[in-house]
Amino acid sequence: MSKALTITLYKSELIYEIQNKTFLTGKSRETGSNFEQVANMQASDEDEHQNQILRSIGNAYDSLRAKLSSFLSGDEVTANNIQIDTNEISIVAVLTMPDNFNFGVSEAVKGALHRYIVNTSLFDWYVIAKPDEAKVYSDLSQNDLVELREALNKRIRPTRTAPVIVP
């Protein structure tokens, strides 16, 4: 038997965190040669910046789906190359969990999914804007995967039932 764990990640929250982190990083390094390019991911909602964020989020989510394949249902039989529809307001992941999964860690699963997408998207951006700092975000996303695996493997401790004595 299994239970569904539905995680909803709002695209606006992902975009905000990506933009905010790049802006703060860019502003804190104003002495560098391309701090403006780093900060511009947040400072501007121009189409090319917004499109790159959406592509990065889409790529990160695709990567995450592959890593979570054993928890996803196999109902989808078609695919396309649309990264994230601009009309979609959220990403919904429905994970099939065993009955003894500890749903008390659902927030930890949600947080790790969110951070993985953000850090992988930041890695994508830094590869373009400041390659020497990209590895930091790659490493962070790998840490997020470790935390995600730990949370997904939490189980409810079994309880001992009284033995049945047959006279």
| Alpha carbon distance 114, 93 (integer Å) | 11
pLDDT on residue 48:
66
Q: How many domains does the chain have?
A: 1
Question: Which residues lie below 8 Å from residue 13, measured CB to CB, with a gap of 6+?
Answer: 114
CB-based contact 96:4 (threshold 8 Å):
yes
pLDDT, one tens digit per residue, over 105-164 is: 999 999 999 999 999 999 998 898 888 889 999 999 999 999 999 999 999 987 788 888
Asked if residue 161 is part of any domain, the answer here is no
pLDDT, one tens digit per residue, over 53-105 is: 888 999 999 999 999 999 987 665 555 656 556 678 899 999 999 999 999 99
Asked if residue 159 is part of any domain, the answer here is no
Report yes or no on whether pTM surpasses 0.75: yes
Asked if residue 165 is part of any domain, the answer here is no
Asked if residue 157 is part of any domain, the answer here is no
Q: How far is CA 144 from CA 118, 120, 138, 149, 160, in A?
A: 10, 10, 10, 9, 34
Say which range, 5-9, 34-38, 125-129, has the weakest mean pLDDT: 34-38
pLDDT, greater one: 28 or 82: 28
Nearest CA among 120, 73, 119 for reference residue 92: 73
The two most distant CA atoms of the chain are separated, in Å, by: 84
pLDDT on residue 53:
86
Place of tokens 């493997």: 153
State yes or no: pLDDT of 27 exceeds 80. Answer: no
Asked if residue 167 is part of any domain, the answer here is no
Stretch 15-33: mean pLDDT, rounded?
A: 77
Asked if residue 46 is part of any domain, the answer here is yes
Nearest CA among 114, 122, 121, 124 for reference residue 151: 114
Question: Which residues lie below 8 Å from residue 47, measured CB to CB, with a gap of 6+?
Answer: none
What is the C-alpha end-to-end distance of the chain, expressed in Å?
A: 33
Asked if residue 158 is part of any domain, the answer here is no
Q: How many Cβ atoms sit within 10 Å of the Cβ of residue 95?
A: 20
State yes or no: pLDDT of 37 exceeds 90. Answer: no
**What is the span of the domain harbouring residue 36?**
2-152
Instruction: For residue 88, report the phi and psi dihedrals to the nearest 5 degrees.
Output: -75, 135
Stretch 39-65: mean pLDDT, rounded?
A: 77
Asked if residue 163 is part of any domain, the answer here is no
pLDDT, greater one: 2 or 36: 2
pLDDT on residue 107:
96
| Alpha carbon distance 135, 60 (integer Å) | 15
